[in-house]
A = this chain, B = another copy of it.
């Protein structure tokens, strides 16, 4: 298998200034897996759902080429449920409901056919679960990418630091990078995070784009200026899935290729935010994606001309 993903597979209920949804398909593992599947990557998800999880959602993942053997179904349990509300500033949101349900006792088991994965994506989950997945792999993957959030900094600092030291790339948002490092400057924050173990840090700035740092290099990808951000749910996970999906598909972890992977992730996330839940990503065709990648290139491309 090219890529194993551990992450939530969930129900989301979303309110934005543009409308609201009942329970729809969501979760970090879902968005990451679908984004990688869209790129033709042989990917599988390690997760857990309840007996209430519809067969049609499993079929939807399978149809996109995403293996679901690693999604354990707890027949008498309920699927993780999150409800949230966005306001005009789509960078912030209120959580209305968090029902962990079967996620509370999630004990990840990596199926045999995932054990030779060359790429591993650790979606945002407790660091203990992320670590358990790494430890089940008999051979270390080429590249391990980890997403996390401030909640684990507040509640599981030591576990978090242990897992961060085991990965190659950490993806994190700007405020969380500041919290993790104690540095306001993102340049200094990235340097400190790299000292914690990862060779690369991707700092996600939402509508302000994303920065990729190595110990000596930096790359910036803008977010596409959109008419409307309809629903940002899953944008960060789509970005991560596009990022590691591109790396897995091309099997090239050079800094130059990571730059392209950042652009792929950004472009795919720009589809996710256009509709509720997974609809924007699912509706994206390959020509749509390449058109948008060309827009990214046009957005930032310039010639240098000296005046002296």
Query: Which residues of chain A have a CB within 8 Å of any CB of chain B?
Result: 39-40, 88-89, 184-188, 205, 208-209, 211, 218-222, 225-229, 246, 249-250, 256-257, 259-260, 262-264, 286, 290, 293-294, 297, 299-308
Contacts and interface: CB of A to CB of B under 8 A. Distances in A.
17 contacts: A89-B184, A185-B227, A187-B225, A205-B208, A209-B209, A209-B222, A211-B225, A218-B225, A218-B299, A219-B299, A219-B300, A220-B299, A256-B302, A260-B304, A260-B305, A286-B308, A290-B306
Given A40-B308, A302-B297, A220 B211 contact: no
B246 A307 contact: yes
A260 B302 contact: yes
A88 B303 contact: no
- Looking at A222, A302, A303, which has the most chain B CB atoms within 10 Å of its CB? A302
Given A222-B220, A227-B185, A299-B219, A307 B40 contact: yes
A250 B303 CA distance: 14
A186 B187 CA distance: 26
Q: How many copies does the complex hold?
A: 2
Contacts of A209: 208-209, 222
Contacts of A208: 205, 208-209
Given A219-B302, A220-B299, A221-B300, 5 more contacts: A218-B225, A257-B305, A260-B304, A263-B302, A297-B302
A88 B189 CA distance: 14
A307 B222 CA distance: 21
A250 B304 CA distance: 13
A303 to B, nearest CB: 7
A249 B305 CA distance: 11
Contacts of A222: 209, 220, 222, 300
A260 B303 contact: yes
A209 B223 CA distance: 12
The 5 closest A-B pairs by CB, nearest first: A208-B208, A300-B300, A259-B302, A220-B222, A249-B307
A290 B188 CA distance: 24
